[in-house]
Structure 1
Amino acid sequence: MITSIILAAGEGTRMKSSLPKVLHKVCGKSMVNCVVDTCKKANINKNVVVVGHGKENVIKSLEAENVNFAVQPIGEDIPYGTGYAVMQAKDYIKDNEYVVILYGDTPLITSKTLTNLIDYHKNGKYAATVLTADFQDPTGYGRIIRDNKGNVVEIVEHKDATDEQREIKEINSGIYCFYGKYLKEALDNLTNDNAQNEYYITDAIKILKDKGLEVGGYKLEDSTDIKGVNTRVQLAEAEKIMRKRINEKLMLSGVTIIDPDNTYIGSEVEIGKDTVVYPGAILEGKTKVGSECIIGHNSRIADSVIGDRVNIQISTIIESKVDDDTKIGPYAYLRPNSDIGKSVKIGDFVEVKNSKINDNSKASHLAYIGDAEVGKDVNIGCGVVFVNYDGKNKHKTIVEDKAFIGCNVNLVSPVTVRKGAYIAAGSTITDEVPEESLAIARSRQTNKEGWVKKKNSSNK
């Protein structure tokens, strides 16, 4: 059994935000959610999040994650410190399990790193294991002191280190793996007898060493895994690293990304092979894109499903579905609950909302399609408006297969255009149009010859 304790109680004052620090997002996902997801991928069975500042919002953000919560009290008389935060989760710690201590503001930690840390800890039969890394400039970090067997003897804080110890490049990441029994013993013996009046989890290492127990140190190869976020500058740095990881993984799986530095793809997005993504594209949420698609520059797709061989140019698609061989854009806007069929054309400046458009239909330009069901092989001309709102309620329009809607037509819902019907350009349709009929709803053209000459003469 493995348990994680994720510390997420801090206020994060350096973020200069009313939002709890751990809820700021990296590649579309809050930092604390990133850490929880990583724990699950590392097969950590039980995850405990220690909350404090903004706890209601943090708990709400993790509602779907099946995690446990421990609350850290807030107040002037509270001692604080990492050790005190871990104490709040003590009831979740079992003697015969392994416990990993993590932080909600380290979103770059990977499941591979956690798995390696836990395996190293188990194989060495350590009481505790510290995750470490070599930093070229370790200023400000606690230094790892090892014995001649390579075990960790002590963690010396920078301010307390001797000149010789400050030359050590190996630093403490603050992430640990403990055997549950020994962690509880260490927590029982922590004190806050220091200048800050705080309990530090680093003191647990010395407590266990003084008991004659062995402490391991697992050194990371990629130190970016432990990069924490305390400011918006560091948040942007974490975003850049995460984005690079996501884009590289996609490219290695067969996706072409023209300019990875200017392409923004969320951590949960899936893309099929031989799809090409152009610069400035933004793919967010639980979006799935099929194979052999083209995602044109400056397109945005959020929480949508895109089929195979779809061509999207400079368009926005939100919470919608686009089936195979369809062309979208440029400058099209698919609002939530749009369901676009196969081989459909949604052209420039066409807006679709809460509508189903079936196979081989087309709206090539300058149309609004809202609350509608459009059949197969339908033509929707330039300037067509589905008038779906009467000022109080939304109503549905149905256009059946092979209908032809001429330019500048208003379809005033609720209304049905039957199979194979034609509607003349400029018509405003308020009643059902029968099958294979022509509907004309406009005044007949009248030409008044000589009218301009008479008008000009009367103005003299």
Structure 2
Amino acid sequence: MKAIILASGEGSRLRPLTDTTPKPLIKILGKPLIQYNLEILSELVEECIIVVKYKHELFQQAFGKSFGNMKLSYHIQGDTAGTGAAISDINGIQQDEKVIILYGDSIYPKQTLETLISTCQFGCLVKEVSNPEIYGIFEEKNGKAIKIVEKPDTHIGNLANMGGFLVSGEIISLAKDISVSPRGEYEITDAIQKFINTHDFYLQRLTEDILDIGYAWNLLDANKYYLENLKSSDIRGIIEENVQIQGNIILEEGAVIKSGTYIEGNCYFGKNTIIGPNAYVRGNTSLGEGGKIGFSVEVKNSYIGDNTKIPHLSYVGDSIFGNNINIGCGFKVANLRHDGKNLRVLIKGKLVDTGKRKLGCIIGDNVKTGINTMVYPGRVLETGTGTLPGEIIK
């Protein structure tokens, strides 16, 4: 059995973080997003084909030609857009060979994939949704799919496509024969429809949520999911005297928590990080490799990337910081509107409702802020930019 992971997209909704890193390689608690799926697949299949395009060389640099006992290969998608086009010219899979196809920007629960593979000949994962008009929706009969419709105008059901397509290698030849969709792409769901027409295709309802990393603030959701399920601490670094820890933490090798620091809630600190002295770190915060949360800095519920430094006298709440950022002394970010409404963020020229009442700022890689910078909630600092001392980002 083989697996295909669709990882060729640019991840434009996740910008500015994806300006420098493909979305599947964005780290969550020190591991690339795609690695969570590779760990599961390595116990289930012999080979995984990763379909890549955007900054494709970074995938092979990260993983090489194998992961555990599983062979890895990389298929570079051509200029034709869409998930259907992504698989249509893959070689090396036989027509009758079993294949499971995963989306590269989602993290799938292990037990869910194991159950799908062990109980179905062919099928995929679905969940019931209250807003079917924004999903690909399956129409079903007796647990089998009849058809799939992208963002239906009329009600045909509420079972949304969550990926995890368990099919045969025939799907590749079917993908060669699909037409371009109304949005100008070749969609894998059109190939799935052709497969449904000639096979019993079962729909397995999810019992656990899939983590879908579509927007930057979804990284906060991922932090929350993994850290709230952290049952005990894993300490590999150094904790100095007079440190208070109320919760479970992961402290990687070379990391140091300095005297006077107070940690409240479950947190992750990557390799060679420095926390403190006299820092206050609150729950569901992650600090990437080589990062720093320094003297009199408070960080709450935030995602901080590799080699990002917040050295002193600053407040960061409900925020997402990329890699190689230097935050000047006295930085403060607001994370709540006065009217208490959800924060909206400007994405690709449109304001998107984040669904969050509290959200700080999103900062791309290689940013430097001047001292005493203040940032309004929901604002974005683009990759490679900077602020002046005392600047207010509105």
Smaller-chain TM-score bracket: 0.5 to 0.7
How far residue 300 of structure 1 moved from its aligned partner, in angstroms, is 7.7
Higher radius of gyration, 1 or 2: 1
Counterpart in 1 of 2:23? 21
Which of 137, 141, 148 does residue 143 from structure 1 map onto? Answer: 137
Specify whether residues 284 and 22 from structure 1 end up closer, same or farther in structure 2 by C-alpha distance, changes over 3 A only.
farther
What TM-score comes out, normalization by structure 1 length?
0.50
Counterpart in 2 of 1:44? 45
Counterpart in 1 of 2:145? 152
Counterpart in 2 of 1:197? 184
How far residue 96 of structure 1 moved from its aligned partner, in angstroms, is 3.6
| Pairing 1:241–2:225 present | yes
Q: Distance in 1 between matches of 2:222 and 2:23?
A: 14
Give yes or no for contact 1:49–1:68 (8 Å, CA) kept in 2. yes
Is the partner of 1:112 in helix, strand or coil? helix
| Pairing 1:134–2:128 present | yes
Is the partner of 1:237 in helix, strand or coil? helix
* Equivalent residue runs for 1:243-392 within 5 Å: 243-245=227-229, 247=230, 251=231, 255=232, 278-279=245-246, 282-284=249-251, 297-298=262-263, 302=270
Q: Distance in 2 between matches of 1:94 and 1:284?
A: 45
Query: Relative contact order, CA 8 A, sep 6+: which one is greater?
Result: 2
How far residue 221 of structure 1 moved from its aligned partner, in angstroms, is 1.3
How many residues are paired up?
Answer: 260
State the one-letter code of the partner of 1:278: I
Specify whether residues 94 and 297 from structure 1 end up closer, same or farther in structure 2 by C-alpha distance, changes over 3 A only.
farther
Question: Following TM superposition, where does structure 1 have runs of at least 4 consecutive aligned residues deviating by more than 4 angstroms?
Answer: 284-287, 296-304
How far residue 285 of structure 1 moved from its aligned partner, in angstroms, is 5.2
Give yes or no for contact 1:98–1:177 (8 Å, CA) kept in 2. yes
Counterpart in 1 of 2:173? 185
Q: Distance in 2 between matches of 1:175 and 1:161?
A: 25
State the one-letter code of the partner of 1:138: P
| Pairing 1:67–2:67 present | no
Give yes or no for contact 1:95–1:179 (8 Å, CA) kept in 2. yes
Higher strand fraction: Structure 1 or Structure 2? Answer: 2
Specify whether residues 190 and 69 from structure 1 end up closer, same or farther in structure 2 by C-alpha distance, changes over 3 A only.
same
Q: Distance in 2 between matches of 1:118 and 1:314?
A: 50
| Pairing 1:120–2:108 present | no
Give yes or no for contact 2:137–2:149 (8 Å, CA) kept in 1. yes
Counterpart in 2 of 1:95? 95
* Equivalent residue runs for 1:25-36 within 5 Å: 25-36=27-38
Q: Distance in 1 between matches of 2:49 and 2:59?
A: 13
Counterpart in 1 of 2:201? 215
State the one-letter code of the partner of 2:82: G
State the one-letter code of the partner of 1:175: G
Is the partner of 1:199 in helix, strand or coil? coil
Higher helix fraction: Structure 1 or Structure 2? Answer: 1
How far residue 68 of structure 1 moved from its aligned partner, in angstroms, is 0.9
Q: Distance in 1 between matches of 2:92 and 2:251?
A: 35
Give yes or no for contact 1:189–1:207 (8 Å, CA) kept in 2. no
How far residue 303 of structure 1 moved from its aligned partner, in angstroms, is 5.6
CA distances 1:360-382 after superposition (whole Å, capped 9, x unpaired): xxxxxxxxxxxxxxxxxxxxxxx
What TM-score comes out, normalization by structure 2 length?
0.58
Q: Distance in 2 between matches of 1:301 and 1:171?
A: 36
Give yes or no for contact 2:139–2:146 (8 Å, CA) kept in 1. yes
Is the partner of 1:133 in helix, strand or coil? strand
Is the partner of 1:116 in helix, strand or coil? helix
Specify whether residues 300 and 206 from structure 1 end up closer, same or farther in structure 2 by C-alpha distance, changes over 3 A only.
closer
> Among the aligned pairs, what percent are the same residue?
24
Counterpart in 2 of 1:161? 153
RMSD of the alignment, in Å? 3.5
Give yes or no for contact 2:127–2:161 (8 Å, CA) kept in 1. yes
Give yes or no for contact 1:130–1:175 (8 Å, CA) kept in 2. yes
How far residue 301 of structure 1 moved from its aligned partner, in angstroms, is 6.4
Q: Distance in 2 between matches of 1:236 and 1:139?
A: 26
How far residue 54 of structure 1 moved from its aligned partner, in angstroms, is 1.0
How far residue 67 of structure 1 moved from its aligned partner, in angstroms, is 1.4
Give yes or no for contact 2:132–2:160 (8 Å, CA) kept in 1. yes
Q: Distance in 2 between matches of 1:114 and 1:285?
A: 29
Q: Distance in 1 between matches of 2:269 and 2:134?
A: 42
Q: Distance in 1 between matches of 2:252 and 2:46?
A: 25
Is the partner of 2:49 in helix, strand or coil? strand
CA distances 1:298-347 after superposition (whole Å, capped 9, x unpaired): 4986569xxxxxxxx999xx99xxxxxxxxxxx9xxxxxxxxxxxxxxxx
Query: Which blocks of at least 5 consecutive residues in structure 1 are unaligned?
Result: 123-127, 258-264, 270-276, 288-295, 305-312, 320-330, 332-460
Counterpart in 2 of 1:411? none
Is the partner of 2:163 in helix, strand or coil? strand
Q: Distance in 2 between matches of 1:156 and 1:99?
A: 22
Is the partner of 2:120 in helix, strand or coil? helix
State the one-letter code of the partner of 2:223: E
Is the partner of 1:230 in helix, strand or coil? coil
